Each structure stands twice: as C-alpha cells, then as structure tokens.
Amino acid sequence: MSDALTISEQQFERVTQPRPAADYLLTERRVPPRDAGVSLWLVDVQRQLDAIKRLPPGWNSHGAPAPNRQVVDSAEQLLKCLCAAGALPRPHVNPTPAGGVQFEWQSASRYFEIEVVAERAAQYLYCDDAAGVEKVGEVFEDEPLEEVLACIRLVAAGQ
C-alpha cells in the first residue's frame, strides 16, 4: 500500500532508502521505448480531428449538427491516454451524426469501436465474429481504460 495512506508510516522512518532508479543498467530498462510509429499516426489523427472540428452543420447531407468542439477535444485526450499505455495500431476516425467522434480498429474477424458521445462519456463495442463474441460497455472520464485497451489489443493481435 502506498506509504501516504497509512498512519503508522508517519511515526516511523526507514532504515533502508528507496532504491534509486538504475538507469545505467540495460536490464533495468523497464518501460519499452515507445513505438515511434504511434507518434507519427497520432499527429495525423490530430489533424483529422482538427478537420472534424471545422465541419459545418449538415456535413453529412442529412442535417447532422456541427461536431461539438469539446467532445472532439475530449476524444483527442482519450486517444492520447490510450497511446500512453503503449504501441497501438492506428484507428479509423469518423465524426458521428450526433456530434461526437468514433475511433475504429478492425482485423480479419475482430472489430472494436469507441464513440465519444459527450465531453466525458464514451460507449464501445467489441465483436469477434469467429468466436461469436460481442461486448458493449461504457467508460467515463477518469475511469481506468484497461478494458478498452484489452479490446484494442485483441483486434491488433488478429491483424
């Protein structure tokens, strides 16, 4: 447990000091270097999101409202948080008729989409046709993204 949570910790001091990070050891390099490819596609996707923000009302010829800028910004933050967890394949990015943004990943039989439906809320769908699996869920701001990441990795593993 984090020392900051316990009272007893404050009344005692450590004999042992925390071990300094052993940056000089190759074997201590715990975090794999981030895939440079991620940064490249993230820049591209940010450009796409900027373009989505500039879409006018009626952009889909069916009277859709202009995308909500806060929701698009929030979608960008979501993607950055996902990328912070490690190398991910590039998603397809689409505006939605409801004013949100959707990211999609697809492989041979697996599909995952997550739609940012409000500034702090998103819904997702995972399908694996070969395994007959379909899963839906929702995630809100400040919640762990472990399940979302697991779905994206499953799709990536099927590519």
Partner 1 sequence: MSDVENGLPKFRKPPVVETVLAVFFRPKFNSAHLGVLWDRHFRDRFPNLEERPPVEEEPERFGEDRLAEGPAVRWRVMDQPDVARLWATSKTDEHVVQFQRNAFLANWLKTGDDTSYRDYVDRREEFRQQLECLDRFAVERELGPIEPTSCWVTYVNHIDYEGMDQIGPALARLLACWTNETSDGWLPNPDNVVVNWGFPMPDQSGRLRVQLRPIARRNDKKEMLRLELSARSSAQKREIGEALAWIDLGHKWVVRGFASLTRPEMHRLWERIQ
Q: How far apart are CA 37 and CA 15, in angstroms?
A: 45
Binding mask 118-147 for partner 1 (x = CB under 8 A): -xx-x----------------xxxxxxxx-
Q: How far apart are CA 155 and CA 29, in angstroms?
A: 28
Question: Which of 156, 158, 103 has its CA nearest to residue 129?
Answer: 158
Burial class of 148 by CB neighbour count within 10 A (0 to 12, 13 to 18, 19+): buried
In the complex, what is the shortest distance from the CB of residue 47 to partner 1, in angstroms, rounded to a whole number?
19
Q: Which residue, 6 or 109, is less far from partner 1 as judged by CB? A: 6
Residue 139, both tokens: 């995630």
Note whether 149 binds partner 1 by CB under 8 A: yes
Size, binding site for partner 1 by CB under 8 A:
35
| DSSP bridge partners of 135 | 126
In the complex, what is the shortest distance from the CB of residue 153 to partner 1, in angstroms, rounded to a whole number?
10
Q: CA torsion 33→147→101→155, rounded to 10°? A: 70
Helix (H, G, I), strand (E, B) or coil at 99: coil
Binding mask 14-53 for partner 1 (x = CB under 8 A): xxx-------------x-----------------------
**52-111 positions binding partner 1, by CB under 8 A:** 73-74, 77-78, 81-82, 84-85
Give me the residues that bind partner 1 (CB under 8 A), please: 1-2, 4-9, 11-16, 30, 73-74, 77-78, 81-82, 84-85, 119-120, 122, 139-146, 149
